[in-house]
Structure 1
Amino acid sequence: MNKKKLSAFDGFAASRALLPWGRRRKSRFRRHPPLSVRSQFSFRFKVIAMSGASAACVLLARALGNGASSISGWAWVLVLAGAVLGALVLGAVAHRFLDRHFSRFKSAKLFGFGLFALATFVAHGQAVGEVNNIFHIDASSLPHATTAASAMAIGAWLFWAVLIPATVASGAWLIRCASALRWGDATITAAIFFAGVTWSAVVGHQAAPDVRRQSNIYRIALAMDFNKRSNCEGVPAASEGVVFIGPDQKRAIVAPPRVDILSRGGFSSLVPQVQVPTEFQIVECR
């Protein structure tokens, strides 16, 4: 009788001791619920679907190009659409990896935000200097060109730090998945590899070389920062517009007629290069 009472007492004490542990476990489960098999399958299905759509855009663009070495028009739109879908696949996979392994480390998040803020600050400073060298005026008068120059500077850094390593790694993983007959993983990796190749070609051709980057900055300034109408004296009729300078806005620089540099094939036909003027005429305005 005494043994039965003692065993009952021991069981009650054990349950009382395990109760706080159970509460902590439930609380931890609510904060960080494990991924179910259904959610993992849904995520994998969406990623494979986007990868297949990326491959379809590439094949359709190649069909519209009729096998030519240079494509244009809607084919370029499809190529860039496929590259965007591939970049989304890479972003989704990277986000799942970072969320699974680094979401609980606040220091990693703070370090990432700090690194992004530092890169943005340095890129903006570099863009201001480049805009000043091109137009010989304060970069604050050309906000859109300065923003584009900052984005190109970040893109040139990502070219060596992210795009090239991701392209090489995805190519090696694609070969491994294809040899192991893992076609789902091979489809995802192929989309990432194609996106890496496409964006590496775009950034490496349009943002990394100094001549191309300055040409693109000048084209963006002509389209978004220069005013086509003004009350300035001595503005040539064939000019591309003016940008007002100074605090009183009574002077402006004039963009001369644009001179396109002809090129054939590839990304050169997608974004033609223009000749950047070395000097800009300054006129008086009312």
Structure 2
Amino acid sequence: MEKKEILVAFSAGGPPALGNIWGITAKKTDFYLEPHADIAAIHLSAHGPNSRHPNGHRFHVKVDRRAAAAIAAQVHFITHSIPRSGRAFDGQELASGAFRVARIRWLWDLQRPRFRHAAALPGALPDISDNRSGARLSHLLEPNEAADLDLVVSDDKPYWPHERNSLRDNARLGPLRNEAGMWLTATSYRRSQMTHPTPEGLKLPLPQHGEEPNRIMGGGAAEDGAGEMYWFVEAITSRQVIEASRSDAGG
């Protein structure tokens, strides 16, 4: 049976998941990327040609206002500057008809023993079914490395960046196919943050002495010369930084 959803988790070699588990889904003429949770406030969508978007693909990030309010009501911190109608972006064209649309980055701090308790995702792991596959990125990172998952949407056939290396390293997830005939592939990488830095503003300060560690996910669009894609960064900061941000946001 053709898979319609891929779940991806990050760990330190075994349970639990560190940071969010992410779901990548093919649905009708679209693809969706969002944290796998009972309440998910933000999602990235890649739309193929349909009645609303007849002229081709459209990449879009949107926040569900009701879900965001429900998350805030649970005393979780959430703030964003995405317009009510969402934010469209062009993606990075890697080849004709193939666009890198998103990167999920898990920072190595999540695996550090002193932060693992704060990084751990509570609750049971989701089930795997006939329509759903699962993957876990569990290699132990070196200091200042990151685990990246790059998502590429393409027409006609699956597109794999660094094709030989991804096949050699068993770094491929998918592909998924939607009803518009588009394909989505995901490729995992280990990258140095020195040579492939996290975009400015998406990496918050680590806890200082006496501060309480807390996991956090940030997101934002960034351009690097090849075009604009959307980043989601799973990281560790302190409860004190979050509370200060909450005050600044008026929450």
Q: Same fold (TM over 0.5)?
A: no
Higher relative contact order (CA 8 A, sep 6+): 2
- Report TM bin, short chain: under 0.3
| Structure having the larger proportion of residues in strand | 2
TM-score (norm 1): 0.20
Larger Rg: 1
| Structure having the larger proportion of residues in helix | 1
